[in-house]
Structure 1
């Protein structure tokens, strides 16, 4: 006999979703049959075995002025209860050369247990032959797709945040400062950002050279490097942020987070910054301190989220 969990995980093979809004209003709707095709929010469900705790979907969110044909794979962890209807788009780290599972799936499992819908993005990489803006367009396409499919995931399209670690933090920060460069039928501005030991600067002694080379190549122009230094592009429209780093981080110096926080302060953007003394780079949830609980507490003030 099929288990209740197995029944809950069943999805129709292909469906088309109406566009969401980002005005803060949200009314869950009952799932219906197939709707007519729209230009955004096309979702194809690739069902995993019944024992799986997540559903793998290929979700296409269309950016009207994209240059690189973005269509990232998104893995979805959807909790049974999401009290605040919050969604979190997660960008794993890996120096733009790989995707660290503990900074993708590991985060998704943690935040899903807390009652948050999580969407892990497999964005394109420099080691696959891609360069900027492919990665940025993948990340923004994921935001577009999640907002377009928000009702299907019981997510409020006005409570969709972005999270990234290391190079994934650089990409998340890029969406925070560059969302206005693209057009879509749904808003692209993240409602909040979570940056874990992020790469921020692209030049100078605090830059992570390997990440920047994978992102922009060895011969990036000064203008492009300027564009990829995110502290220089913070504005009054940049979303609020939770940032953490360690003083001992020798892979991506703590100055990256300090510099970005300073830019947020200059423009009056609310943020919470945690600098821990102990710990190297890339710890994720294996850190010797409970940054996850601090992040959830901060999120409750942004989204009203209460742990499920």
Structure 2
């Protein structure tokens, strides 16, 4: 009887384990890997600087104080992969990462289109953990893009169809990667290009000039009293060249957090450099609408799908 009881208990445990695996949250990634296989460049050890998570209903919705950047890989399962991939950069004013709304959920949307997605949990600028906080996030973004392109064949991806999508401050990092991809911000023997094939910029921070800058992002990235040289360097509308990747931009006119002039200025810079671009300015939507929650901005994903199709990424 005791033997049968033990067997029954073992079976119960096995069934529970299987049930837990089947019940994995819908936004669970296929794999999470450390971004850096070597030492994180220019890192400063700070034992008291510990990563923090915000958890709601069992899902990590926000992350701050990131010290170990990771890359979460999301593979399409319900539709055949089409070879296109996108690096996702969540926003959060360079103070935290909206890792679910502007990360995992975006990855699953891209997966539904047959696109392989990579969510980057990047280091947020801080003098406590990096020697130069202005380039810390860019170091991570460049390395992530190089990783994807280096492993494109293994993952059955087209190395010429690797895009980047960024939201709010993540949009600033995406546009920084798109305009500073050749900047040498860390030592590497990797000669693979960090240039995105295209960029999707959703209510992005672009400008660091006081008139239209998101003050929180500016302060967190550049410091309290940045020099004009530093402001100009990271005002990415001023860094556009004919080699800048073409872009799809989305903004709401009633955005009072990050003014729509950020997207407008970047679009005009692309246009002036004869780089193809598409800009959608919606009447309403505010800021931080993610994949769309209300008003006219709710439909931006449909417009984006059409742009991806027109440019042969779908």
Instruction: Answer yes or no: same fold by TM over 0.5.
Output: yes
5+ unaligned residues in a row in structure 2: which ranges? Answer: 1-10, 45-66
The 5 A counterparts of 1:157-196 are: 157-182=159-184, 184-196=190-202
Closer, same or farther: CA 263–111 of 1 in aligned 2, 3 Å: same
Ranges in structure 1 where 5+ consecutive residues have no aligned partner: 7-47
The one of the two structures with greater contact order (alpha-carbon pairs below 8 A, sep at least 6) is 1
Deviation at 1:286, TM superposition (A): 3.0
* Range 104-113 or range 281-290, more displaced: 281-290
Q: Is the 1:71–1:138 Cα contact (8 Å) retained in structure 2?
A: no
Higher mean C-alpha deviation, range 69-78 or range 97-106: 69-78
Aligned to 1:55: 30
Tell whether 2:76 aligns with 1:79. Answer: yes
Question: What are the within-5 Å matches in structure 2 for residues 51-200 of structure 1?
Answer: 51-52=23-24, 53-60=28-35, 67=42, 72-80=69-77, 81-100=79-98, 101-126=100-125, 129=128, 130=130, 131-182=133-184, 184-200=190-206
Q: Is the 8 A contact 1:93 1:168 kept in 2?
A: yes
| Preserved contact between residue 231 and residue 260 of structure 1 (Cα < 8 Å) | yes
Aligned pairs (5 A) from 1:187-266: 187-266=193-272
Instruction: State how many pairs are aligned.
Output: 262
Match of residue 301, structure 1, among 286, 303, 310? 310
Q: Partners in 2 of 1:68 and 1:234 — Cα distance?
A: 29
TM superposition score normalised by structure 1: 0.78
Deviation for aligned residue 1:126: 3.0
CA shift in 2, pair 1:303/1:60, >3 Å: farther
The CA distance in 1 between the partners of 2:269 and 2:243, in whole Å, is 12
Deviation at residue 200 of structure 1 after TM alignment? 0.7
Superposition CA RMSD, Å: 2.7
- CA distance 1:87–1:56, change in 2 (3 Å): same
| SS of structure 1 residue aligned to 2:225 | coil
CA distance in structure 1 between the aligned counterparts of 2:110 and 2:259, rounded to whole angstroms: 26
**Cα displacement (A) at 1:212:** 1.0
Alpha-carbon offset, residue 106 of structure 1: 1.4
Cα separation, 2, equivalents of 1:168 and 1:293:
21
Per the TM alignment, residue 151 of structure 1 is displaced from its structure 2 partner at its CA by 2.6
Between structure 1 and structure 2, the one with the greater Rg is 2
- 1:127 to 1:60, Cα distance in 2 relative to 1, 3 A: closer
Name the TM-score, length of structure 2 as normaliser: 0.76
CA distance in 1 between partners of 2:106 and 2:232 (Å): 31
